[in-house]
Each structure stands twice: as structure tokens, then as C-alpha cells.
Amino acid sequence: MPDAQPAPPEAPGTGDDGEAALVEALRAGDAAAFETMVRLYAGRMLAVARRLVGNEEEAHDVVQDALLSAFRAIRKFEGHSRVSTWLHRITVNTALMKLRTRRRKPEESIEPLLPSFQEDGHHAIRFSEWDGADQVLERDEVRKTVRQAIEELPDAYRTVLLLRDIEELSTEETAQALDITPNTVKTRLHRARQALRTVLDERLGRTRA
């Protein structure tokens, strides 16, 4: 039996030892460490920001603000989570703050997007079974369609669905981030999933009853 090949070396700043060294360098104010953090994590942060704010220019602003916030708060980082997880939370919070600064517009109704029912109480459209947007997004051929459909949801519902199904925040974390109750999160998520499924069934040509 041939000898096992050694594992490839981890990139600087990754792995437990690499992350610890990166954090220590950041705490020391090392400019090169900040550049390393940007190189390693900015791409993923930008993807999160794009999903939440839906605007390329604002997404870049979110990442810049999030990186600056992270650099300023690095001394408070206790290492209980990975750096990527910590930066993800900062990016989500920064994106939500960006959304709150937008000019307020009348709350859109989600009712037109919800499934309709026949007189006997059955759905007017026969749906395929799925629990959340994350499962559908795993299928490359419909990913673009799903993203477009998510963008059609009213902001209050779209944000909850993104935080719960895509960014994988818990109900409690989502409630805290949006300053709403956990029950409101559950209600909005349920209705957002129903609405998204309605839009997708129409766009992807699901079988109608």
C-alpha cells in the first residue's frame, strides 16, 4: 500500500493556529494582518451583503463598514467562534443597519403572493415539497430564478427568509437582529416560504391541479 500523501498546508490565517496568529496580529494593529483578513474573508462578506441589500454599490459599502467595525472591535473578540463566523455576524448587522437607513416606504402586502385555495379548501396549485429556500438554491439550474423570486418578496418577509434560510441565523438571533418577537419571525418566515413557493411554482412550471 502506498504511503498516504501529507495534507496540503493551510493558507495563512486559516486553521486554529493561523486564526489565533491573525487575531493577535490584528490586535497589535498590524496593517498586513488587516490586509490578510480582507483577502481571506471580504469575498464571502460581499456575497452576504449583496443578498441582504440587493445593491452592488451598497453591498461594497456594507463590507467596508463591516471590516472597519471588525478592526475596531478586534480586542473584544474572544475566540469563541471562528473569525469567519464573527465577520459574518458583523456583516449581517451592518447590512441590516444599511437597510434601516433607506427611505421608508409603505409596507407591501404579501397576500398577492400567497397560495390560493379552492372551495373545498385544497390548494389551487399542487406544490412540490420543500422546506426552505436553501434547499432549492442547491440546484444550480434554478438558482438565478430563486434569487429573483426572493427579490420580489416584500422587504419585511424577504429579510426574515434570508436571515433564517440562507444566512442560517436562529429564530432568536433573527428576532434580535430585526428587533421583533420570535413569534413574528416564525409567522413571517412561514408566509415568506409560502409566497416564494407560489412564485417558483409559477415560474418553474409546476403542475397545476
Domain boundary assignment for the chain: 15-101, 111-203
- Asked if 90 and 70 count as a contact pair (C-beta separation under 8 A), the reply is yes
Domain 15-101 has CATH 1.10.1740.10: yes
Query: What is the pLDDT, as a whole number, of residue 125?
Result: 43
Question: Residue 33 half-sphere exposure, CB side, CA atoms within 13 Å?
Answer: 18
Query: Top-level CATH class of 111-203?
Result: mainly alpha
Residues β-bridged to residue 117: 123
**Percent of the chain beyond pLDDT 90?**
38
Give the pTM: 0.68
Dist CA 184 CA 195 (whole Å): 16
The mean pLDDT value for 44-63 works out to: 93
**60-72 burial string, b = 16+ CB within 10 Å, else e?**
ebbbebbbebbee
The mean pLDDT value for 144-173 works out to: 88
